[in-house]
Amino acid sequence: MSERVWVIGGGVIGSLFAAHLSRVADVTLMSRRTEHAAAVSENGIRVSGRADFVGRPQATTDPAGLTEAGLAIVATKASDVEAAAAQLEGRLVDGAAVMTVQNGLGAEEVVRSHGPWPQLSAVTFMSGTKLGDDHVEYVLDTPTWLAPYQDSPLELAEQTATLIVESGLKAEAMPDLEAARWSKLIFNATVNSVAALTVLPHDHHFAEVEEPTDLGHLVRGLIEEGKLIAAAAGIELGEDPWEMNVLATQRGSRHYPSMLEDVEAHRRTEVDFITGALVREADRRGVDAPLLTTVYRLVKAREASYL
């Protein structure tokens, strides 16, 4: 695998990948906005919080240079994967690989429909906050888990994980991602939806269950429904989403989930790809999921109030 890396998508996750990987590889960040690309080209990407440095990736809005990429990391929101995959089509050369790192389900299938490249599936538990086009705060320094998709070799996942670790981020390669993916899906569907509806950052409220009115009761109820759906789908979870939630709230970061940021900015959220994916799977498996269905409908109504 060539160490020419393209990161497609300049949000929090894309910025963290691009900044860190630029320390060990030739990295280009592809952004949708000209002013974003210009800011990164001129100033680099400052990383604060869990790390303190300025990464120096190249930046562009032009996909033409993808012909030089050995690895393309698709770090867009789930709703933008189709457009990103279309830019890869006809540009990536033989031997180049693609890694998807989206919330929810289905990104790999979208990318596969555009080309036969070796693919990696990834879920990341790291998080941060964009403080500007050229500044990202690194909040949770938790790992990215990656695995080969379909017939891609495990060696490719191991090489990519090694590169990510050398850059200063945490990563682990594994033969199969489903256990990790579903743990993250249930966690995300719960925390993001509740944050979008309550306007609370992911803080101690999400884990409190001492009083009958504590928010943690709803959070745990949503997670339990997610576990039932996973069991019906034959998935043995890698991590307990409730314990993931408790641990995250104990780190004191008051992380702002992406759906909360989206509703406050009056943007379309990823709820269809995260909570909606669980609700559709519940329906397909014949699992009753009234809490997840309710919060899904409420987040969609919240979107409808401004879109």
Fold matches, 4-173 and 178-304: no
CA distance 227 to 222: 9
3-state secondary structure the chain: CCCEEEEECCCHHHHHHHHHHCCCCEEEEECCCHHHHHHHHHHCEEEEECCCEEECCEEECCHHHHHHCCEEEECCCHHHHHHHHHHHCCCCCCCCEEEECCCCCCHHHHHHCCCCCCEEEEEECCEEEEEECCEEEEEECCCEEEEEECCCCHHHHHHHHHHHHHCCCCEEECCCCHHHHHHHHHHHHHHHHHHHHHCCCECHHHHCCCCCCCCHHHHHHHHHHHHHHHHHCCCCCCCCHHHHHHHHHHCCCCECCHHHHHHHCCCCCCCCCCHHHHHHHHHHHCCCCHHHHHHHHHHHHHHHCCC
**CATH top-level class for 178-304?**
mainly alpha
pLDDT at residue 252, rounded to an integer: 60
In this predicted model, what pLDDT tens digit does every residue of 112-158 receive, in sequence order?
999 999 999 999 988 888 999 999 999 888 899 999 999 999 999 99
For range 24-46, the mean pLDDT: 96
Q: How far apart are CA 277 and CA 113, in angstroms?
A: 20
Average pLDDT, rounded, for the chain: 94
According to the model, what pLDDT value does residue 2 have? 55
**Amino acid, res. 3:** E
Q: Are 177 and 122 in contact (CB under 8 A)?
A: yes
For 174-216, the pLDDT digits (tens) are 999 999 899 999 999 999 999 999 999 999 999 999 999 999 9
State both tokens at 56.
């120096």
Residue 1 has pLDDT above 60, yes or no: no
Residue 154 is predicted with a pLDDT of 96
- The residue ranges of every structural domain in the chain are 4-173, 178-304
**Which tokens hold the place of 232?**
């019906």
- The pLDDT of 220-237, averaged and rounded, is 97
CATH architecture of the domain 4-173 equals 3-Layer(aba) Sandwich (3.40)
- Distance spanning both ends of the chain, measured CA to CA: 42
Tens-place pLDDT, residues 60-111: 999 998 888 999 999 999 989 999 999 999 898 888 999 999 988 889 999 9
State percent of the chain over pLDDT 90: 84
Rounded-to-integer distance, Cα 56 and Cα 41, Å? 8
Q: What b/e readout covers 213-247, taking b as 16+ CB neighbours within 10 angstroms?
A: ebbbebbbebbebbbbbbeeeebebbbebbebbbe
Q: Has residue 168 got a pLDDT over 70?
A: yes
Indicate if the pLDDT at residue 47 is higher than 90: yes
Average pLDDT estimate for 46-70: 93
Question: Which residues have CB under 8 Å from 44's CB, separation 6+?
Answer: 19, 22, 54, 55, 56, 57, 134
Residue 278 has pLDDT above 70, yes or no: yes
